[in-house]
Structure 1
Amino acid sequence: MTPRQRRELKTHMENELTQLKEELAATEAHTKPAVTPDSAIGRISRVEAMQSRHIGEASARARKTRIARLEHALDHVDDEDYGLCIACEEPIPLARLRLIPEATHCVACAADMER
């Protein structure tokens, strides 16, 4: 991978992190309990509110996980082995890294892991 490609990936990761952190803040603001157990609303409304909160919490967890992975990738983007598959040690295609900068496996090895 060329230094220019590494810089492009680094910029892409930084932008992605900024966006994810903004989305996380918005999600967390909306997952605060809006319905207290003693509120006098209908049963269906209460269930809907609880489901919405659980969906928001799951979304926040997924964003936190992605943020942690991106921060780790950003810390290691300048390492010599960044962009190499940790299973087969072949280069991960640049197109895959542009899509998933935190990828640690090439497509073939990732597919093998899912089987």
Structure 2
Amino acid sequence: MDKTAIRNLLDQEIVKTEKKIEEYEEMSSPVSPDDAIGRVSRMDAINNKSVTEAALRQSKDKLSKLRHALHRVDEDDFGLCKRCGKAIPVMRVALMPQSPFCVNCAR
């Protein structure tokens, strides 16, 4: 497994995730009761805010895991499943670099 390529991939994912977090934070601003948008529209805005806040929490969690994975790239056990100890396929590491488990153990 090419550690430089994995490190670059993690860096790219971190940048994308940080950008998503910024967007979600902007979208999750409070819904002001002073806005004359109507009762149904206000309820819709509040519902959308809840969905955005959930996405924001997930993105922050992913960012934390990505940063942890970036710090672990040079460790000997990086790319090995935490549960079974087998090598995690390179494509899985490329798609989900923050996951410490192989596909079978992640289920």
TM normalised by structure 1 equals 0.87
Q: Displacement of 1:41 after TM fit?
A: 3.4
Q: Displacement of 1:39 after TM fit?
A: 4.0
Counterpart in 2 of 1:23? Answer: 20
- Residue by residue over 1:15-41, the C-alpha shift from the partner in whole angstroms, topping out at 9 and shown as x without a partner, is 1101110111111011101x3234443
The size of the alignment, in residue pairs, is 107
Q: Percent identity?
A: 36
Letter of the 1:107 counterpart: V
CA distance in 2 between counterparts of 1:19 and 1:39 reads 32
Which protein, 1 or 2, shows the higher relative CO under an 8 Å CA cutoff with sep ≥ 6? 2
CA distance in 2 between counterparts of 1:87 and 1:23 reads 30
Name segments (4+ residues, structure 1) moved above 4 Å.
none
Task: State yes or no: 1:48 paired with 2:44.
Answer: yes
Letter of the 1:86 counterpart: K
Letter of the 1:71 counterpart: R
2:11 corresponds, among 14, 21, 38, to 14
Counterpart in 1 of 2:94? Answer: 98
CA distance in 1 between counterparts of 2:36 and 2:74 reads 57
Letter of the 2:96 counterpart: I
Unaligned runs of 5+ in 1: none
Q: CA RMSD in A?
A: 1.2
TM normalised by structure 2 equals 0.93
